[in-house]
A and B are shown apart, each in its own frame.
Chain A
Amino acid sequence: MLQKDFRRLALILLFAPFALWIILLILLPHIGMIALSLREKVAPRVYEYGFANYMDFLNEPIYWNTLLRTGSMSLLVTALALLIGFPVAYYIAKLAGNRTRGALFLLCLIPLWVSDLIRAYGWILLLRETGVLSSFLQWAGIVDHPIEFLYNDVTVVIGLVYTVMLFMIVPLVSTLDGMDNSMIEAGYNLGGNGFTVLRRIIIPYAMPGIVSGCIVVFMLTAGSYLTPILLGGKNSSWFTEQIYNQFISRFNWEAGAAFGILLLLFTSIVIWLGLKLSGQTLANTVAKS
């Protein structure tokens, strides 16, 4: 009997920090934000409850265009990151020798822990009008006047792909690493060519890693703030910028909260769709990487 009481006590003690964390820092704040998003300031200290903030969003094309733009560009970034990252991850996991594998993986990891800010700053130094690339092109005689590479969509996409790339590669490498080489050999042995082996064996096996990478990458891109602002300039029209503006510049917290909820809903729906379409669950993808 004592043993049982002890176990129950231990369980409660272990549950307490978890519950405090989830309730106080995740659930309550989000409930509070939903509540806040549902009220509108009609006069100082006078509030009305309703969907006015959401109606504003729908009635103002700039807002929902920005959200759609953020979403579609995030999807594009995710797809590019997967296309560019998969061969690299495959090389690291399967083709590189034992020693180079560790070194390459480490090379991948080091930029992972360097701030977004520094990475974006590095790109600025490379791409701006007085930057390295522009100077190099002039020096090489390819162009005769400085070129501004910053402040356009292509640069934003490149910068975002760069920023999130490592979150794609790391889960891919760890799933591909767990794959037995003999599975690939068996695929060839049974008469498959390179393409069918890739499509029928490697990709299905790597699916949890692919989905995990895509979820994290999509979420990070849609929620990113620094890269679009710094590389795209003030007119980058990124949705997080709208949230920031409502909160900090206009001090309209109600609208900002509504925008936050919309962004959260939007990313959640995309992630949910991605999980449904690929037949994976949150627990066996993100939790494993």
Chain B
Amino acid sequence: MLAQDKATPFLWGYRLYVAAFFVFLAAPLVAASIFAFNDSVFPALPWQGFTLDWFFNDSEPKLGMFHDRRLLRGIYYSFVIAAFVSTLSVTVGTTNAFLFVRGQFPAKNFFYILMIVPLVIPGVILGISILVLASNTANFLENRFDMELELLRPGIFLVVMGQFSFITTITSLVITARLKKFDESMEEAALNLGASRARVLRTITLPFLRPAMIAAGIVAFLVSFENFNTTLFLVGSEAPLTITMYDRVAKVGSTPVLNAVSFALIIGSGLLALVSILVQRDKTVR
């Protein structure tokens, strides 16, 4: 199975296997997408004809996703949360990258492991542990000082914190990898040409990191957008899209409007992932 030119039947069998794998990979996504266009109130066969009602129709029983208030609000909250999470995690990811690539301090390896750890903690546990701490703190403040801190009750802030807690590991790793490739003599060259340290950072180092920062931001955005496990415990009344959709699937049952949302998300995520790959494949890498 290893050499390039071995017996053909084997290679064909191998190719068939890979092809079957990709069919397996695509099947549920295709199924989820295709019923968005079926002119039926159930996302199931038989095929009743093509329609865009599940996107654009404005009345029951075929209320399209762009007229479904609750779904739209879910998308809006997801966007807000994802925007905060990606901004925050890229910022901290960048400072972490500088800390671990440039910094010299005791127990650096230990701290580096500590930075990776959030990635291997199950998301459910991150969710409940942050919920517990926030609630305890809020209760304590309320009982002791009679202070009501809404921020620490389940809601957007806690969701952002919960997702931030492990997405930062991802962004840190992406940006660290890029910073490690940076030739430090470029910074020295800029200093030598008369630039101040701030200017070196602004004109040389950050532009070099920019592709990685954008890619990390996109990854953070997507991971935040699709996150369910951590969000589930921290969510308040402002439910993001995944939670809204889950409620629908679990309580109302499936309707093709969910397929419409799925289709939109698959296309959107695909495009963003493509952008992140294009950004990283830049010409400045030597």
- A residues near B (Cβ < 8 Å) are 11, 13-15, 17-18, 21-22, 25-26, 28-30, 32-33, 36, 84, 87-88, 90-91, 94-95, 104, 106-126, 130-132, 135-136, 162, 165, 184-185, 188, 194, 197-198, 202, 215-216, 219-220, 222-226, 229-230, 240, 243-244, 247-248, 253, 256-257, 260, 263-264, 267-268, 271, 282-283, 286-287
A92 CB, min distance to chain B CBs, angstroms: 8
Known A117-B249, A131-B44; contact A122-B28, beta-carbon cutoff 8 A? yes
Q: Given the complex of chains A and B, what is the CA–CA distance between A169 and B96 in angstroms?
A: 27
Identify which of A104, A123, A260 gathers the most chain B CB atoms within 10 Å of its CB. A260
Binding-face segment, B49-57, B59-67, B161-169, B203-211: B161-169
18 intermolecular pairs with C-beta atoms under 8 Å apart: A11-B104, A11-B105, A18-B96, A21-B168, A26-B118, A32-B132, A111-B26, A118-B266, A121-B28, A122-B27, A122-B30, A126-B31, A185-B3, A220-B122, A223-B125, A225-B124, A263-B124, A264-B122
Out of A119, A184, A248, A287, name the residue touching B28 (CB < 8 Å).
Answer: A119
A115 / chain B contacts, CB cutoff of 8 Å: 225-226, 228, 242, 265
Check: B24 CB closer than 8 A to any chain A CB.
Answer: yes
The answer to whether A135 and B125 have CB atoms under 8 Å apart is no
Chain B nearest CB: distance from A116 CB in Å? 6
Q: Please encode chain B, from 83 to 102, with 1 for each CB lying within 8 Å of some chain A CB and 0 for all others.
A: 00000000110011011000
**One of A112, A118, A230, A244 near B32 (C-beta < 8 A):** A118
By a CB distance below 8 angstroms, the chain A residues around B98 are 14
Cα distance A200–B117 in the bound complex, in angstroms: 31
B230-249 to A contact mask, C-beta < 8 Å, 1/0: 00110000000010011001
Residues of A within 8 A of B129 (CB): 29-30, 32-33, 260
Given A21-B168, A215-B120, A219-B120, check contact A110 B229 (CB 8 Å). no
B44 touches A107 (CB 8 A): no
**Interface members, chain B 132-162 (any A CB < 8 Å):** 132-133, 136, 161-162
Whole-angstrom distance between the alpha carbons of A268 and B273 in the complex? 31
Residues A18 and B122 in contact in the complex (CB < 8 Å), given A125-B28, A260-B128: no
Complex contact A91–B125 (CB within 8 A): no
B226 in contact with A116 (CB, 8 Å)? yes
Residue of B128, B232, B266 contacting most chain A CB atoms (<10 Å): B128
CA distance A92 to B116 in the complex (A): 27
For the complex, give the distance between the alpha carbons of A260 and B133 in Å.
Answer: 14
Question: Are A223 and B161 also in contact (CB < 8 A) when A113-B269, A286-B116 are?
Answer: no
Contact check, A125 vs B35: say whether CB atoms are below 8 A apart: yes
Whether the Cβ atoms of A29 and B277 lie closer than 8 Å is no
- Please, which residue of chain B has its CB at the minimum distance from the CB of A184? B2
When A95-B4, A115-B228 are in contact, do A132 and B29 touch as well, CB less than 8 Å? no
A280 to B4, CA, bound (A): 30
- Say how far B278's CB is from chain A's closest CB, in angstroms: 10
Interface size class of B (residues with CB under 8 A): 35 or more
- Contact residue among A87, A125, A247 (Cβ-Cβ distance under 8 Å from B128): A247
Looking at the assembled complex, report how far the CB atom of B41 sits from the nearest CB atom of chain A, in whole angstroms: 13
User: Contact flags (1/0) for B24-46 with A, using CB distance below 8 Å?
Assistant: 11111111100100000011111
Query: Least Cβ distance of B269 to chain A in Å?
Result: 4
The 6 closest A-B pairs by CB, nearest first: A223-B122, A122-B28, A115-B226, A29-B129, A122-B32, A25-B165
* Interface-central residue, B111, B113, B124, B225, by most chain A CB under 10 Å: B124
A14 and B99 form a contact (CB under 8 A): yes
Secondary structure of the B side of the interface?
Answer: helix
Measured between beta carbons, the chain B residues less than 8 angstroms from A286 are 116, 119-120
Cα separation A212 to B35 with both chains bound (whole Å): 36
Partner of A121 from the list B112, B120, B262 (CB cut-off 8 Å) is: B262
Q: Which listed residue (B4, B44, B173, B245) contacts A117, Cβ 8 A?
A: B245
CB distance from A74 to the nearest CB of B (A): 10
Would you give the shortest CB distance from A215 to chain B, in whole angstroms? 6
CB distance from B174 to the nearest CB of A (A): 11
Residues of B within 8 A of A110 (CB): 266, 269-270, 273
Q: Does B103 contact A (CB under 8 A)?
A: yes
**Pairwise interchain contact B113-A17, C-beta atoms closer than 8 A:** no
CA distance A117 to B81 in the complex (A): 18
Tell me if B217 counts as interface (CB < 8 A to partner A).
Answer: no
Known: A271-B120, A282-B120. 11 other contacts (CB 8 A): A28-B133, A32-B129, A95-B4, A114-B265, A122-B29, A124-B254, A126-B27, A131-B44, A132-B45, A188-B3, A287-B173
Do the beta carbons of A162 and B95 come within 8 Å of each other? no
B187-214 interface with A by 8 A CB criterion = none
Which residues on the B side are within 8 Å of A84 (C-beta)? 21
Q: How far apart are the CA atoms of A84 and B118 in the complex, in Å? A: 27
For residue B182, CB closer than 8 A to chain A, the reply is: no
**Cβ contact within 8 Å between A283 and B116:** yes
How far apart sit A29 and B133, CA to CA, in the bound complex (Å)?
A: 5
A287 to B245, CA, bound (A): 33
Choose one: B26, B133, B226; the contact of A32 (CB below 8 Å).
Answer: B133
Q: What is the bound-complex CA distance between A130 and B46, given in angstroms?
A: 10
Residues of A near B95 (CB, < 8 A) are 13-14, 17-18
